[in-house]
Amino acid sequence: MMAVAKSVRQRVARLRDEINYHNYRYYVLDDPEITDAEYDRLLRELQELEEKYPELVTTDSPTQRVGATPLKEFAEVHHEVPMLSLENAFSDEEVFDFDRRARERLNVAEIEYAVEPKLDGLAISLLYKEGVLSRAATRGDGTTGEDVTQNVRTIDAIPLRLLGKGYPGILEVRGEVIMTKAGFEKLNQLQRQHGAKLFANPRNAAAGSLRQLDPRITATRPLSFFSYGNGLVEQGELPSRHHQIMQKMKSWGIPVNPESSVVKGVEGCLAYYRKMQQKRDSLPYDIDGIVYKVDRLDQQEKLGFVARAPRWALAHKFPAQEEMTKLLAIDVQVGRTGALTPVARLQPVHVGGVVVSNATLHNQDEIDRLDVRVGDTVIVRRAGDVIPQIVSVVLSRRKGNPPRYKLPDTCPVCGSPTARLSGEVVTYCTGGLYCPAQRKQAIKHFASRRAMDIEGLGDKLVEQLVDEKLVNDVADLYDLTVEQVQQLERMGPKSAHNLIAALEKSKSTTLARFLYALGIHDVGETTAQTLASHFGSLEKIMHADEETLMAVPDIGPVVAESIIRFFRQKHNRKVIRKLQQAGIHWPTEKAKPSGKLPLQGKTFVLTGTLSKMTRDEAKAALQALGAKVTGSVSKKTDYVVAGENPGSKADKAEALGVTILDEKDFQALLDEHA
């Protein structure tokens, strides 16, 4: 026999050290550093080398054991029936090989398989004595686990006493403790609120929750459980097929995955795999593959075991949803509302069956939380159609001390200053009326019914006007000619004349509508009406300082800062001047700067048809007096204004004892406070 090359021995030693290190990170620290896919590759490489050079196999090799050393803080539990791992398959060909070997050993033409999703959680053993839960233990190294009985007792999905009858005197149930996607999001939201470390994924969160020394903490975590089989059975018998055993367990109150099934042959296995792969993202919990088990127990017994796994079961893994790659750069995109979004440019990598080269970084807070820097090795995740995102940074692979990344102070599209208001996570461009990235959205908002109400100027026409470079900002709308418009798709002479007429009509507006149409961040209809009523003129609003603005009812420091930033930009002021030069005007309003508005703090609901004004005009009149106008009646409603055919809102108001005003009473109220 030829001597094994030194380089092969060194590689085997290196692989063992690396796998043991990652086992420690995963099982002991609950802080994995690499993806499952990367771990699988390391283990498979070591398996292949040991198969090729069997003289290198040692008893302490990761291939000869199931897991890692259990935590010492918990009492140890010895598994009388070892909790083994499963062999993994990553291709259809490997599944065909598994089925062929099983059929040959059993000397049968076809095998029935019990199939179920491979849950991404923490394996657990539940020992029931006379139907009462007496002990719960983690898998640990497969022979020795950790006693987590008190923690498991806090999981509502796990029965403390079995239901019905007919169960063995001693029954060991095996399954997976998981955390649902919704539970995971809720938990991380709470972690974020308390400034605590966020969990990387539901599996990591489930493992960390179950290993809490204080069961009161575990009790607050949204853990769940599904059984996938059994271990020790004494003082009784179970059915002769796996799927029948699972149905029995279900009847005893033990959760069994509803997606479990029985199929015939390898084609049935692969059809189930494809079905669940399509369904994967809609499931309420994470799965990372499918488990195939020979259904008949006598056939399982005949097939037996290899060193670390049964020959009668196989885990068919899905394409990895997480992979490692390198962060090459961070670019900034400016959205249609002006929000700046940092985008990670990645070294292309296959994730979830597609090539990923970009991933969202959301905002500055997310960049700071991850501490992600250009040049880092990162873990990127993609689930279905969800935009890929960076999950974490592999700090052990960071070289040197690259600088932290900060979003730019100026917009990369138009050069306007960027801003991040107090209490907000989004950084945005302040050049709202000028920035090309926001152009289409700004025009659509400007033309909307509650703003300048330009009839006929819909979204598709706005898209055409901008794409044809006829309109660069909202003021350019008023320079359009019939000849220009009628050349556009689906726009004949009549439609063009109608649009120009609508533009002309829109020049006569109100100060409140004009302010709202400008699209100032945080300035909605009500705030625009409040500003117009308080100041009475656009010039006063444009030149107001923070103290003056905050004297206005319901205007706080955040809104005041938005208004000041908007009018500070010369680009925005230039567009406003162009709009005024185009002939946009409004009636002069009498300023009401002193104290509280007459209807401030009052809530109104409008219902039915008014004869002297539209609902929008009535709403604007109420808001000008400081009132709040809502769409539904409640105990907090002060008045319901009922026109003709008022409907159920008037009935509800009457039932709740809310004051109902007819149109005459409503007009009198407006006249009183005019």
So which residues are the catalytic ones?
118
Full DSSP string of 494-556: HHHHHHHHHHHHHTB--HHHHHHHTT-TT--HHHHHHHHHHH-SHHHHHT--HHHHHTSTT--
CB contact at 8 A, 509 and 454? no
User: Which of 401, 396, 397, 379 shows the shortest CA–CA distance to 388?
Assistant: 379
Give yes or no for a contact between 219 and 248, defined as CB atoms under 8 angstroms apart: no
Q: Please report which helix (H) or strand (E) contains residue 115, including its range.
A: strand 112-119
The CA distances from residue 257 to 90, 226, 266, 281, 660, in Å, are 23, 6, 21, 16, 55
> How far, in Å, CA of 125 to CA of 175, rounded?
7
Report CA torsion sign: 262, 265, 266, 272.
negative
Contacts of 207 (CB under 8 A, 6+ apart): 30, 121, 122
- How does DSSP classify residue 28? I
State the Rg of the chain over Cα.
34
Contact indicator for 379, 322 with CB cutoff of 8 Å: yes
Structure tokens at 455: 């009839």
- CA quadruple 593, 594, 597, 598: dihedral sign: negative
Q: Which of 475, 479, 507, 481 shows the shortest CA–CA distance to 496?
A: 481
Q: Bridge-partner residues for 381, per DSSP? A: 322, 389
DSSP single-letter state for residue 403? P
Q: Which of 517, 512, 505 is nearest to 447 (CA)?
A: 517
